[in-house]
Structure 1
Amino acid sequence: MNNHEIDFKIYGDDMQFVEVELDPQETVVAEAGSLMMMEDQIKMETIFGDGSRNSDGGMMGKLFGAGKRLLTGESLFMTAFTNEGRDKRHASFASPYPGKIIPLDLSELGGKVICQKDAFLAAAKGVSIGIEFQRKIGTGFFGGEGFIMQKLEGDGMTFVHAGGTIHKKELAPGEILRVDTGCLVAMTGGVDYNIEFVKGVKTALFGGEGLFFATLKGPGTVWVQSLPFSRLASRVFAAAPQNGGSSEEGSVAKGLFNLFNDK
């Protein structure tokens, strides 16, 4: 295998975290800020790019790997956790919002998975984290979630996170599934992905589901989330009091502020 072979265990239900077991000299790479806890003798190192073999070809290779991540809206840096002890050690990584963590064994999924640009959480060292451009220009301008997605390649374990309940669906050859663009979490490399316009002016303007949705054509596997973080954030923002809100809301907020700032 080109990737480090790691073991793991997922804890929790709606606020999950994944515990990765590292043998001596094994490494897991994670998004900056996703660490929950780790045992001693684990070395924590900030790296350019994704730590894969493709990014080890000198400074230019590392800069290219980091640049790919910058295009997806992520940080230039990732964090590598290496067990430098003689015994097994554990490191845990948590989701940034309520939902599920999906373990993906790339060796069983054709060596390639495409996911939303903010779905990646952690992976065994050696997994290549790149970008996937959609073939049709309309996808980029009208897809809602943008035409750049993350591409995970290799033969190791990787972990992605999503909001709400996760539904895994197997698509037969030629089978078509239409999904809200924000609800699409990940798909295997063989799935054909496109953006389709919602026909009918009334549906587009008053349907509440936006103007476009993703059309997925099998064969392959698709993971769908019931509550995208963008949808949750928009509902919270819409429900928040504007310009101070009502007098009752203001008095409650003022009371809480005084409670936590009482000296």
Structure 2
Amino acid sequence: MNAHEIEYKLYGDDMQFVEIELDPSESVIAEAGGMMMMEDGIGMETIFGDGSGGGQTGLFGKLLGAGKRVLTGESLFMTVFTNNGGGKKHVSFAAPYPGKIIPVDLSEMGGKVICQKDAFLCAAKGVSVGIEFQRKLGTGFFGGEGFIMQKLEGDGLAFLHAGGTIHRKDLQPGEVLRIDTGCLVALTKDVDYNIEFVGKVKTAFFGGEGLFFATVRGPGTVWVQSLPFSRLADRIFASAPSNGGSSRGEGSILGGLGRLLDGDN
């Protein structure tokens, strides 16, 4: 294997974190700010790009790799955690919002997985974190993720995070699945990904489901999330007092009574 051979354990249900076990000299890469806790003997180093090498050497090569991450909206830097001790050590990474952590063994997925640009959490050192351009104009403009998505390449373990409940769907050759554009988390390289108009103008504007679906065609594997963070954020924003929502518990039995006693109309 080119990537480090790490072991892991998931903790929690709706607010998960992953504990990575590192043998001496093994490393794991993660997004800046994703670390939850680590044991004594693990060293941290901030680097450009993902540290996978990828044939790029020198300052220009490192800047090019880091620049690709900027295009996906990620930080210019990543952090490498290395076991500098003599025995097994553990480092943990926490999910940024309620949802599930998805372990993906790239060696079992053809060496490549394409995902949302904010889905990546951490991976074994040696996994390449790059960009995937959507060549079809319809997918680029209306796919919810723009022209650029993130791609993970290599033969090691990578960990993705998504909101709500995660469903893995293994598509048979020619099998088609239509997904809300925000609910598609990741797909393997063999899946054909496109965007499809909902079909009827009335349904598009008044159906509440958006104008477009993500259409995926097998063979391959896709991961779907039940609660995209953007959908959760929109509901919270709409309920905020400054946007017409109420700061009181609208679902509680005292919600209406409290407003009445305070003179709210």
Quote the RMSD (CA, aligned, Å): 1.6
Name the counterpart of 1:241: 241
Name the counterpart of 1:60: 60
Q: Judge which range, 58-67 or 38-47, deviates more.
A: 58-67
Is 1:132–2:132 an aligned residue pair?
Answer: yes
Normalised to the residue count of structure 1, the TM-score between the two structures is 0.92
Q: Which amino acid aligns with 2:74?
A: E
Taking the TM superposition and a 5 Å limit, the aligned residue runs for 1:21-60 are 21-54=21-54, 56-60=56-60
Taking the TM superposition and a 5 Å limit, the aligned residue runs for 1:208-227 are 208-227=208-227
Q: Distance in 2 between matches of 1:247 and 1:16?
A: 28
Taking the TM superposition and a 5 Å limit, the aligned residue runs for 1:7-18 are 7-18=7-18
Q: Which amino acid aligns with 2:231?
A: R
Q: Which amino acid aligns with 2:43?
A: K
Is 1:171–2:167 an aligned residue pair?
Answer: no
Normalised to the residue count of structure 2, the TM-score between the two structures is 0.91
Task: Report Cα offsets for 1:166-203 as digits up to 9, x if no partner.
Answer: 00011000111010110001111100101111111111
Task: Report Cα offsets for 1:223-247 as digits up to 9, x if no partner.
Answer: 0000000000001111111268669
* Gapped regions of structure 2 (runs ≥ 5): 250-254, 256-265
Name the counterpart of 1:150: 150
CA deviation after TM superposition for structure 1 residue 149, in Å: 0.7
Q: Contact 2:103–2:158 at 8 Å: present in 1 too?
A: yes
Q: 1:229 to 1:63 in 2, by over 3 A?
A: same
CA deviation after TM superposition for structure 1 residue 145, in Å: 2.6
Q: 1:202 to 1:245 in 2, by over 3 A?
A: closer
- The DSSP-based 3-state class of the residue aligned with 1:222 is strand
Q: Distance in 1 between matches of 2:247 and 2:168?
A: 46
Q: Distance in 1 between matches of 2:144 and 2:162?
A: 17
Q: Which amino acid aligns with 2:157?
A: M
Q: Distance in 2 between matches of 1:169 and 1:49?
A: 31
Task: Report Cα offsets for 1:36-63 as digits up to 9, x if no partner.
Answer: 0000111101000011121651111111
Q: 1:80 to 1:55 in 2, by over 3 A?
A: farther
Q: Contact 1:32–1:79 at 8 Å: present in 2 too?
A: yes
Q: Contact 2:105–2:157 at 8 Å: present in 1 too?
A: yes
Q: 1:209 to 1:42 in 2, by over 3 A?
A: same
Q: Distance in 2 between matches of 1:115 and 1:155?
A: 16
Q: Distance in 2 between matches of 1:182 and 1:14?
A: 19
Q: 1:243 to 1:173 in 2, by over 3 A?
A: closer
Q: Distance in 1 between matches of 2:70 and 2:180?
A: 25
Task: Report Cα offsets for 1:4-51 as digits up to 9, x if no partner.
Answer: 000000000000000000000000000000000000111101000011
Task: Report Cα offsets for 1:131-173 as digits up to 9, x if no partner.
Answer: 1111211222222232211000000000000000000011000
Q: Which amino acid aligns with 1:24?
A: P
Q: Distance in 2 between matches of 1:172 and 1:124?
A: 30
- The DSSP-based 3-state class of the residue aligned with 1:139 is helix
Q: Judge which range, 48-57 or 111-120, deviates more.
A: 48-57
- The DSSP-based 3-state class of the residue aligned with 1:242 is helix
| Paired residues, number | 250
* Gapped regions of structure 1 (runs ≥ 5): 253-263
Q: 1:141 to 1:231 in 2, by over 3 A?
A: same
